[in-house]
Amino acid sequence: MVTAKPLAWMRSLHPLPAMLLVLLAAACGSATATAGESLLFGTVSAPECNGGYQILNATVTVRDEHDTIIGTGTTDATDQNSYADQCIVTFMVHLSRRAKFYQLSVGTHGGPTYQHDELKAQGFGVHLSLN
């Protein structure tokens, strides 16, 4: 099961990829969602990249309150962490529309559900952990 962690994860990322994620989130918008709310971005961490975790190139799926897929993306193909004790990958998912609830999953791992206001307060950025 994928669990959510506080956004303090941004401090642990290399500055350039983290800055790019923030800039991309601020720049993107769509006709069906408010600018900045049409892109969900974040990281996924696990004790290792392979084994039972398989978070490299994993599909990230976002479903709404009706269990309808409203966005998919893929995690990075390489570990973004410079530390050897964890594997950290980033992802971005373009959301097709606004929802009341957002259910996330990464590969075969189920994930947390967020309310719209909760994600909005976090700037549509999340950190998921398989630890």
Q: Sheet containing 109-115: which strands, arranged edge to edge? A: 69-74, 59-63, 101-106, 109-115
| Number of domains within the chain | 1
The CB density around residue 115, as the number of other CB atoms within 10 Å, is: 13
Q: Identify the pLDDT of residue 34.
A: 53
Tokens of 74: 């893929």
Confidence of residue 104 (pLDDT cuts 50, 70, 90): very high
Instruction: Report the percentage of the chain scoring pLDDT > 90.
Output: 53
- Which tens digit of pLDDT belongs to each residue from 24-36? 444 443 334 454 5
The CB density around residue 11, as the number of other CB atoms within 10 Å, is: 8
Q: Give the separation between CA 99 and CA 21, rounded to whole angstroms.
A: 22
Q: Identify the pLDDT of residue 23.
A: 39
The structure's pTM equals 0.73
Provide the domain limits for residue 45.
Answer: 3-129
State the chain's mean pLDDT as an integer: 79
